[in-house]
Structures are given as C-alpha cells and as structure tokens.
C-alpha cells in the first residue's frame, strides 16, 4: 500500500501538467487528476500490473480532459467578458530546462491560443510537442490512427504558430523589461510604457462579470499604454494595496494584494523579442482562490469611492 501511495504521488505532477494544459483551469485539472489517480489505484488494488504507470496515467488523464473540454466549451461560450486561464505562480521552479519548456507551453498567451483548437488537436499538440510522445504513442492515447494524429498536430501547430511568432528573449532580458514595465505602470509613466510595448500589443482582462475588468480586449500601443497608466496607479493608491513581481505560468508577472495579503488579481506579461506583446489581467475571484485568500475587490472599490 505504501508503494502504491508513493507511486500515486509520483504520478500526480504528470497528470496535473497534462490536465492543466488541456483545460487551462486549476480546479478542473485537479478534478481530472483525482479521477485519473483513483483509476490507477483501483487497477493496482486488483493486483493487476501496470507496465508503464506514467503512460497509463497519461492516457487516462488525456481522455478525461478531452471529455471535460467538450463540456467546458459550452460554459465558456456563455462566459461574461473575455475568458482567461486560471494563473499559477511558478516562482518555486529554478531548473533552467524546466523554465525554457514552461515559457513555451504554459504561458497564458499560449493557453489562450490553445482554446482555439479542438480538444483532440489540443491533446495531440500537448502530448507530442510538450511531452515528446511519439505520434504512434499519441495515436494509442487518443484512440486515433497515426495518420490522423499527424494531421491534427500539423493543423494545430500551424494555427498556433501563425498567431504567435516565436522570438528569443532571455530570462534576464524578460525580467529586466518586466521591472521597467511595472515601474512605469505604477507611476503612470505613459511615455515609458509606450517604449516597452509592441505596436500590436493586446490587453485582456478577466473579471468573469463578478468584479470590474477590461470590458473588451484593447489593442494597440497607445490605447493599451493609456489604460495601464490609468488603472495601476489608481489600484495601488488604495490603502494597503501593494504588488510584488512573481513568475506567472513561467513568465513575468505581478501579484496584487490588499492590506491583509489577500489576492486582488494577477497580471501576466507576454514578452517576445524584447517587447511586451500581451498583458493578461485576471481578477475573477473564482480563478484566484487556489492562490490563497481572495480580497473583495468590489468592497475595496466601494470604500474608496465613499472615502
């Protein structure tokens, strides 16, 4: 039994890594992980040998995630405002190889692009391009022919890379640019912000209709810089509100908290070719609960108005 528990603990990160990339939500991914590990446990309890536990849990997790994604799409179509993935804080990882892989496959910008794919396309791309499964292995996992899997991967890869050209930015360059961005944002330095933004930069906010957020995606250097230069100084002027730089989904970002260190929101920067090409702000309290106690942003705004 102890060996079984140890095995399940080893399989949990594998299952979560796949489920989160497939679904973009921590809560749904954790539900998938629990179900996948339960199935592994049930098989082991019968005395049946699992030849490759990682491959087995990958197959179960992927199939469960595909099913969940099919049902989740209907909910997301009725979502109020822009939908963004639930952010995760990844500061604790220091392995350079992990950082490089994460920046390419876990960023909010990439997860948003994956939303445009079918569940099968998303599964194939994640398994082959992120986790290095051979096409023959992916075919068995998703229950498709190898030729079909190759076609799914090709179409998915084209769709993602077409909308997100890849340029090299080192981690040091990324962190230095992010530091300059947040310094300019906090002081409302419009000119300073514009120097850091790509001409086609996008600002996306997700409040889920529960707290104020950017009503719709803003595009363009001037409009985005103006919006950031207005919003951040106002937010940080509230009593007790502060922010600190954090790594969000393997990229640069910031965590905003109130005076009791309750989470107000997360902002993630999509930095490519030494420019900020995307800004994602998540303030929907339902998408922040896994990060700790969540502040009541509506009450904070109301008290600021009445004060």
Architecture of domain 1-78: Orthogonal Bundle (1.10)
Of the pLDDT bands very low, low, confident and very high (cuts 50, 70, 90), residue 98 is very low
pLDDT tens digit sequence for 188-241: 999 999 999 999 999 999 999 998 888 789 999 999 999 999 999 999 999 899
Would you call 95 exposed, middle or buried from its count of C-beta atoms within 10 A (0-12, 13-18, 19+)?
exposed
Architecture of domain 171-306: Roll (3.10)
Of the pLDDT bands very low, low, confident and very high (cuts 50, 70, 90), residue 91 is confident
pLDDT of residue 74: 78
Specify whether the CB–CB gap between 262 and 186 falls below 8 A.
Answer: no
Give 150-216 as a 3 state SS string. HHHHHHHHHHHHHHCCCCCCCHHHHHHHHHHHHHHHHHCCHHHHHHHEEEEEEEEEECCCCCCCCCC
Domain ranges across the chain: 1-78, 171-306
Four-CA torsion 10, 35, 266, 235, nearest 10 degrees: -140
Residue 95 has pLDDT above 70, yes or no: no
Specify whether the CB–CB gap between 113 and 163 falls below 8 A.
Answer: yes
Four-CA torsion 286, 289, 294, 298, nearest 10 degrees: 0
pLDDT of residue 101: 53
Of the ranges 44-53, 82-91, 265-274, 298-307, which one carries the lowest mean pLDDT score?
298-307
Neighbour count for residue 124 (Cβ, 10 Å): 30
Which two tokens mark 265? Answer: 């929101």
Is the pTM higher than 0.95? The answer reads: no
When the pLDDT of each residue in the chain is averaged and rounded to a whole number, the result is: 90
Q: How many CA atoms lie within 13 A of 59 on its CB side?
A: 16
């Amino acid at each position: 039994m102890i060996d079984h528990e140890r095995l399940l603990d080893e399989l949990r990160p594998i299952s979560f890594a796949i489920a989160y990339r497939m679904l973009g939500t921590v809560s749904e991914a954790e539900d998938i992980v629990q179900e996948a590990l339960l199935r592994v446990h049930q098989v082991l309890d019968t005395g049946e040998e699992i030849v490759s536990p990682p491959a087995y849990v990958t197959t179960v997790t992927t199939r469960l995630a595909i099913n969940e994604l099919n049902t989740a799409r209907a909910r997301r179509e009725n979502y109020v405002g822009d939908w963004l993935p639930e952010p995760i804080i990844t500061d604790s990882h220091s392995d350079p190889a992990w950082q490089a892989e994460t920046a390419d496959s876990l960023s909010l910008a990439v997860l948003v692009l994956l939303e445009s794919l079918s569940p099968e396309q998303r599964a194939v791309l994640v398994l082959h391009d992120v986790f290095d499964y051979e096409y023959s292995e992916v075919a068995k996992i998703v229950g498709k022919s190898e030729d079909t899997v190759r076609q799914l991967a090709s179409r998915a890869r084209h769709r993602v890379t077409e909308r997100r050209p890849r340029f090299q930015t080192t981690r040091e360059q990324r962190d230095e640019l992010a530091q300059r961005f947040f310094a300019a944002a906090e002081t409302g330095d419009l000119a300073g912000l514009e120097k850091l933004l790509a001409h086609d930069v996008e600002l996306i906010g997700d409040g889920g209709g529960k707290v104020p957020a950017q009503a719709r995606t803003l595009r363009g250097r001037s409009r985005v810089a103006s919006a950031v230069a207005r919003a951040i100084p106002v937010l940080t002027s509230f009593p007790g509100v502060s922010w600190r730089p954090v790594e969000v989904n393997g990229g640069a970002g910031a965590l905003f908290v109130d005076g009791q260190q309750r989470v107000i929101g997360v902002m993630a920067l999509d930095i490519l070719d030494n420019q900020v090409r995307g800004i994602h702000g998540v303030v929907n309290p339902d998408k922040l609960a896994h990060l700790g106690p969540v502040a009541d942003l509506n009450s904070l705004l109301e008290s600021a108005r009445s004060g």
